[in-house]
């Protein structure tokens, strides 16, 4: 079975869902399933706006 897991955080972020995913995903793979984990980056960069003028 193809399984997709979606969550905004993953280790090194520590929490209940993150811990659950680190345990559950490998177990599902061991049972023969194909697992994809879609997550975002643990670090966020501040958005900056730059302007340039050309004459």
pLDDT tens, 1-55? 999 998 887 767 778 888 888 899 999 999 999 999 888 765 555 444 444 444 4
- Nearest to 9, CA basis, from 52, 19, 25, 47: 19
Helix (H, G, I), strand (E, B) or coil at 34: strand
* Phi and psi at residue 39, to the nearest 5°: -145, 175
Q: How far is CA 17 from CA 34, 39, 55, in A?
A: 20, 12, 53
Pairwise CA distance, residues 47 & 52, whole Å: 17
Q: What is the pLDDT of residue 27?
A: 96
For the entire predicted model, the pTM comes to 0.63
């Amino acid at each position: 079975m193809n399984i997709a897991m979606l969550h905004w955080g993953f280790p090194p972020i520590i929490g209940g869902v993150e811990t659950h995913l680190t345990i559950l995903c490998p177990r599902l793979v061991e049972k023969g399933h194909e697992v994809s984990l879609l997550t975002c980056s643990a670090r966020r960069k501040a958005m900056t706006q730059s302007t340039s003028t050309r004459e």
